[in-house]
Amino acid sequence: MASQALSTPGSRKRIGRPPRNGGADDAGGIRDALLAAATAEFARNGFAGARIGRLCKEAGTTVRMVYHYFGSKSGLYIAVLEEAMGELRAAELKLDVDDTTPLLGLLRLFDFIHDHFDANPQLISLLSTENLAQARYLKQSAKIPAMSSPVPKLIERLVRRGVDEGTIRKSVDPLRLYVMMVALSYFHLSNVHTLSAIFDEDLTRAGWRRQQRRDARAMVEGYLRAD
């Protein structure tokens, strides 16, 4: 029922000829073009600041199509959120950290997280927007709760192995470690504009980001290592 409310007409099996429209992809992808433009628009302006008209112009379609495919502005926004989260989860599912030492495995996890957020600034904006909205929309999604991150479980396994070996410190809580890893991968990007403005230094520079990564990684490593 919930899933029906959230599925959008025409989301599956795209049949028939492609629309003549030039903005949208040739592969019949009005829906896809809308989703891509909406991702950018919501990431750039938040939910309330996003303009359906603007994003439709960008997608090369009409406003009407948003209602055809997604039912409402919130419906479109939720679809955007689901897609962004889906990509993260899909990438996480490919992680394999059992072929190495616990410490290296945990650091590989950190590297993955750090790289993913670094490569996906829109995901960061979307998540920040959603938190400003107190997760109102995420809670309406049937899909997202069903795809919580596998990473805490991965962490748990590695930590157990490491503790048994004596290489990892005791009493590491998997979820809290995950949250700290994300914090060190996310905050300097999510808040880059105020930080850069206030400290009069451009934190978007590749050099700054590379050094931040090295420092953050060192911090995680120092925390994990058994003394």
Partner DNA sequence: AATGAATGAGAGTTCATTCAT
Partner DNA sequence: CATGAATGAACTCTCATTCAT
**DSSP classification of residue 27:** S
Rg of the chain taking only CA atoms, in angstroms? 20
- Nearest C-alpha neighbor of 203 from the set 217, 219, 191, 215: 191
- Taking residue 105's Cβ as centre, other Cβ atoms within 10 Å add up to 22
Q: Binds 26, which of DNA, its own copies, none (CB < 5 to 8 A, cut-off by type)?
A: none
> Any residues with CB less than 8 A from the CB of 2 and at least 6 apart, and which?
142
Q: Do 119 and 185 form a contact (C-beta atoms < 8 A)?
A: no
Site track 42-81 with its own copies (rule: CB under 8 A), x = hit? ---xxxxx--------------------------------
Minimum Å gap between C-beta 39 and its own copies is 14
216 sits near its own copies (criterion: CB under 8 A): yes
Cβ closer to DNA: 20 or 94?
Answer: 20
59 sits near DNA (criterion: CB under 7 A): no
208 sits near DNA (criterion: CB under 7 A): no
Q: What angle do CA 198, 200, 202 make, to 5 degrees?
A: 110
Minimum Å gap between C-beta 100 and DNA is 47
212 sits near its own copies (criterion: CB under 8 A): yes
44 sits near DNA (criterion: CB under 7 A): no
Alpha helices in the chain (DSSP H): 2-6, 30-49, 52-59, 63-70, 73-93, 102-119, 121-132, 151-165, 174-190, 192-199, 206-224
Q: Which residue has the tokens 């953050």?
A: 216
15 sits near DNA (criterion: CB under 7 A): yes
Rounded Cα distance between 216 and 212, Å, is: 6
Q: Which of residues 60-119 bind DNA (CB under 7 A)?
A: 61-69, 72-74
Contact residues: its own copies, CB under 8 A: 45-49, 125, 127-135, 138-139, 144-145, 148-149, 152, 173, 175-177, 179-180, 182-184, 186-188, 190-201, 203, 211-212, 215-216, 218-220, 222-223, 225
Interface contacts to DNA, rule CB under 7 A: 9-10, 15-17, 19-21, 27-28, 30, 50-54, 61-69, 72-74
